[in-house]
Amino acid sequence: MKKILFLFLIVISLDVLAQPIYQATSSLISFHAGTPVEDIDADNSKALSFLNITSGEITISIPVKDFRFKRPLMQEHFNENYLESAKYPKAEFKGMIHDIEKIDFTSGTTQEMRITGTLNLHGVSNEIILRVTIDSSDKKIKGEAKFVIALVDYKIDRPKILWQKIAENIDVTSTFTYEPFKK
């Protein structure tokens, strides 16, 4: 009986140690939408994300209203006129890591990976491919991606009177730090 109990405890502890689900414990999504006429930058640290290191599935949910701008008027226009955050409160990404079996999330080294998924923004969904750099150490996984979003692809209007101030293509940088998910 003691052997069965001991074996059961070992199996349970191995299952906990081999937890494939990671949750982002910190996040930062920044974008630059400015032109030579005006800088438009915003940051958001409220995104939620889960990563399954076995299947390669990743989900990200970004509350649109939580982007912070240097000037309150920019933030107001962003939420009311461009992203319409009352109507579309979240941006979401769901994707899969390519060749997940080749990624060593415990190596402690910098690795490159590719993620294909769907970005839903402003009520429009488009497939995107992300190139992500990851570093792993101390049971944490830190990932960073830089990519470009075209406003026209997400039906985000750029008023004709402001076309010189707002870029057509938005430079986005995202950084997430993941730790094993605790149920």
Structural domains of the chain in order of their starting residue, each with its CATH number = 19-180 (2.40.128.110)
Q: What is the DSSP letter of 84?
A: -
The predicted pLDDT at position 9 comes to: 39
Residues in contact with 40: Cβ distance below 8 Å, sequence separation at least 6, in sequence order? 32, 33, 34, 69, 74, 165, 166, 167
The predicted pLDDT at position 161 comes to: 60
Determine how many CB atoms are found less than 10 A away from the CB of residue 17. Answer: 9
Write down the pTM of the prediction. 0.85
Determine how many CB atoms are found less than 10 A away from the CB of residue 49. Answer: 20
Least confident window among 11-20, 33-42, 64-73, 131-140: 11-20
Confidence class for position 18, pLDDT limits 50, 70, 90: low
